[in-house]
Structure 1
Amino acid sequence: MSASPVVQESPAPVVEPAPVVEPGPTARITLSPPPTAMAWMKVGVPHELMAVPEVCLAPGDALVEIEFATVCGSDLHTVSGRRSAPVPLVLGHEQVGRVAALGAGAVRADGTPLRLGERVIWSIMVSCAECDRCLSGLPQKCRTLAKYGHEQVRHGWELSGGFATHTHLRAGTAIVPVAESMPREIAAPLSCASATAMAAVDAAAAVTELDGATVLVTGAGLVGLTAAAIATDRGARVIVSDPDPLRRATALRFGAVATVDPLLPPGSPTAFAAVLSSLGLDDGLDVAIEASGSAPAVAQAIACLDIGGVAVLVGSVHPVGRVPMDPEAMVRGLKTVRGVHNYTPRHLADAVEYLEKRHCAYPFAMLVGTTFPLSELDEAITEAATGGHVRVGIVP
């Protein structure tokens, strides 16, 4: 671990920040008590509390005091060892907070000046805006990409994740204000799941018109449920597939006209083929958004498409094995398969705008099933891993 962090026995309380800005290009911020973060060390070992006595904000940087965070599935993949990660690491990349201090020239995603006290969310990634990938519209694949909640703790960027009292936002981060009226449980996941769902729906819409389309969403987690709501509001008829009966019931509250249990045998009257037939969809579907990461679900998403259909794969963010595909069917069916990983700043801004308008139309807030204090992060992650909640909340 870097020499800068100091491990304490208990979390320091969050207090109103009192930034001290020194002359020059770097703003040196000292808070009393200091910001703290939970550092993950390795599988099976409890998080360690880390204090950061000083935060140095370069031009374009900002320091945000965390209001609320949520545990994402990728956090669970890391702590379980399903995905490798550098350590020590401050996890967490779904959060909402308030601007506590600013580096010179810090701006929002739209280029306007960021203000102290603003309630904001921010992108999962830090991009350079200058490399070939950024210039071609793929900032999430920047040549010098850094990601919140995924980077090894290092001197000068210790507060790099959301499981903390504060997060240090670096220049190149898309920062978007959110309305004070938006519940924290809805605002926090905007930084990952909600914006990713927006990107997935947009990827489908770039291939086929959604108004009047039939859409399959596989996986009724936060990405899948949000995608179902967005597609429904764009005029699509949505079917959701998930093995969990409670999540299938939840999907009906997010616009789905029908749900499917993918574990049922083909001959069952409520199996996938039977449900499609009952809806007059024997030829297949226009769109499939695969949000579960299950190999059988990926295969089904591709196989179920009608002529000219598009499958958007968004859930396969860890190895799931090979998936069979019939090239002749793809060619003769004029089918499209698109991969979506994370999102662009535009998708983040669009997701904020969408949920500010529509968060009352669907029960998004209920998707955070329980909340823990930051000091009980390990207990929160254990609870999230049970799968009993779409999201578990963390309060600093």
Structure 2
Amino acid sequence: MAIQGNFFVFEKPHQLLRAVSSKIPTLEDGEILVKINYATLCGSDLHTFCGLRQEPCPTILGHEIVGTIIELNANSLLNDATGKQLAIGDTITWTVFASDPHTAVYNPDTPQKNDYLYKYGHRQITEQDTFHGGLASHIILRRHTYIRILPKELPAPIAATINCAIATAAGAIRLAGKIKGKRVLISGMGLLGLVCTAMCKESGASQIVVTDIDDMRLTLAKRFGATEIFNSKMDQPTDLTNTADGVDCFIDMSGSTEAMETGVAQLGINGTAVFIGAVFNQRKLQLDAEQMIRRILTIRGLHNYNYDDFSEAVDFINENWQKYPFLDLIEKEFSLDQVNEAFDYAVVNKPIRVGINMDLR
């Protein structure tokens, strides 16, 4: 018997999302039907809602999701990324993309940049293609989606953020190189920056300096392992480190051109900068090329993450979710029927995350 599902449609910026009820299509080979337990509103969802970025419309927003398998295609025998066989009732997380490894341009180091990528929460609704975003009762996972089974005791609000912010932070750590014993500077204490701070702490960084323009977020960063905090509106750039040698690594999660310029200027010899946050239009960076050459600097960018980053994120949360106050980062919850109120709250109050709890009525 066909299952009836619900989702909310985004059509254009600043317009109320529209509720739709529809029968869920029959699964194709390799597909999985998941009942969504929880979703969170990512910064990119808010940027789309506010018109700062464009998505093919109409669409179902939301890609930070956790859910429970309720149906597997009868012709499919599927395993998660660790080799465990998937079964009905499993709580799972998955990559925000499905990437076909058989395309001519596929690169296992950057599967998120493959041709014909299927990105959850970023697709246009068609008659043949629905239930692909998080602001819905269900989602259909397509073939070539990387999946991990999660422990039942992991709280859904934390689990929902693994496959975007936490996996991206893991990618930043990978690009930064060896962290143990290093001096790290991180700008932007949203979810990405806070997770990155905790990951640097667990990786054995000797110094973790963080910056933001919000004192409350800076205070929160101390609970995630920051050794020093600076308000970038109030403190001078030369105050960011207490050593003349500069920092070994700078990671920008803010997307602020000023923060990126200041951070690169703090790097010492052989320093590495990793840019994550600048995913919207802004002015061009002004960097001192001579100093980049003389200090032998490396600058790298990351958009989304690869499979190793995703698995690192799952393992990190499984091991550390009780050690750091991750649950405090979901500042307010709404039901799926309250999704428009959730967007209004997020735009006005700028919380680290807003949660959509599918069990709320």
Tell me the TM-score normalised to structure 1 length.
0.87
Identical pairs, percent: 34
Matches within 5 A, 1:213-362: 213-236=182-205, 237-264=207-234, 266=236, 272-277=237-242, 281-362=243-324
Shift of 1:153: 0.7
Contact 2:107 2:114 in 1 (8 A): no
Aligned match of 1:17 = none
2:92 maps to 1:127: no
Equivalent position amino acid for 1:215 in 2: V
Shift of 1:326: 1.3
Count of residue pairs the alignment pairs up: 355
Question: What 5-or-longer segments of structure 1 have no aligned partner?
Answer: 1-19, 21-29, 267-271
Q: 1:168 to 1:185 in 2, by over 3 A?
A: same
How many angstroms apart in 1 are the aligned matches of 2:102 and 2:292?
36
How many angstroms apart in 2 are the aligned matches of 1:387 and 1:291?
19
Q: 1:375 to 1:94 in 2, by over 3 A?
A: same
Equivalent position amino acid for 1:67 in 2: N
Q: 1:264 to 1:145 in 2, by over 3 A?
A: same
Equivalent position amino acid for 2:170 in 1: M
1:44-71 per-position Cα deviation (integer Å, ceiling 9, x unaligned): 2211111221322111110100111100
How many angstroms apart in 2 are the aligned matches of 1:48 and 1:140?
30
How many angstroms apart in 1 are the aligned matches of 2:304 and 2:349?
22
Shift of 1:388: 4.1
SS at match of 1:186: helix
Aligned match of 1:212 = 181
Partner of residue 340 from structure 2, selected from 355, 363, 378: 378
1:339-366 per-position Cα deviation (integer Å, ceiling 9, x unaligned): 0111112211111111111111110111
How many angstroms apart in 1 are the aligned matches of 2:186 and 2:109?
26
How many angstroms apart in 1 are the aligned matches of 2:344 and 2:32?
31
Tell me the TM-score normalised to structure 2 length.
0.95
SS at match of 2:204: coil
Partner of residue 185 from structure 1, selected from 157, 174, 189: 157
SS at match of 1:35: strand
Aligned match of 1:68 = 38
Question: What 5-or-longer segments of structure 2 have no aligned partner?
Answer: none
SS at match of 2:286: coil
SS at match of 1:249: helix
Shift of 1:143: 0.9
Aligned match of 2:15 = 45
Shift of 1:276: 1.3
Shift of 1:264: 1.7
Partner of residue 115 from structure 2, selected from 131, 143, 148: 143
SS at match of 1:74: helix
Which entry has the higher C-alpha Rg, 1 or 2? 1
Aligned match of 1:269 = none
Equivalent position amino acid for 1:53 in 2: K
Contact 1:225 1:251 in 2 (8 A): yes
Equivalent position amino acid for 2:54 in 1: S
Contact 1:133 1:139 in 2 (8 A): no
How many angstroms apart in 1 are the aligned matches of 2:105 and 2:269?
32
